[in-house]
Amino acid sequence: MPIQAAPGTVGNLTPEQEVKLQEFWVLLLKVCGVNVEGIESNGDVATPPSPSSQKKAAPKRRFTFFGGKSNDEEEDTTANGVTTSIASINITDGDDKYGQSKEFQQAITDMKPEEIRVTLWNMVKQDNPDSLLLRFLRARKWDIKKALIMLVSTIRWRLQDVKVDDDIVKNGELAALEQSKSSDPEEKRKGEEFLKQMRMGKGYIHGVDKDGRPICVIRVRLHKPADQSTDTLDRFTVYTIESARMMLSPPVETAVSFLSLHERIFKHLT
* pLDDT of the residue at 59: 45
| Residue segments in the chain with a per-residue pLDDT below the cut of 50 | 40-43, 45-79, 81, 266, 268-270
Quickly name the fold that domain 1-36+98-161 has.
Helicase, Ruva Protein; domain 3 (1.10.8)
Q: Residue 214: what are its φ and ψ, rounded to 5°? A: -60, 140
Residues carrying CATH 1.10.8.20, the chain? 1-36+98-161
What are the tens digits of pLDDT across the range 123-181? Answer: 999 899 999 999 999 999 999 999 999 999 999 999 999 999 999 999 999 999 999 99
The DSSP code sequence of 107-151 is: HHHHS-HHHHHHHHHHHHTTS-HHHHHHHHHHHTTT-HHHHHHHH
Contact criterion met (CB below 8 Å) for 221 and 267: yes
* pLDDT of the residue at 5: 87
* pLDDT of the residue at 231: 93
* pLDDT of the residue at 63: 42
* pLDDT of the residue at 2: 76
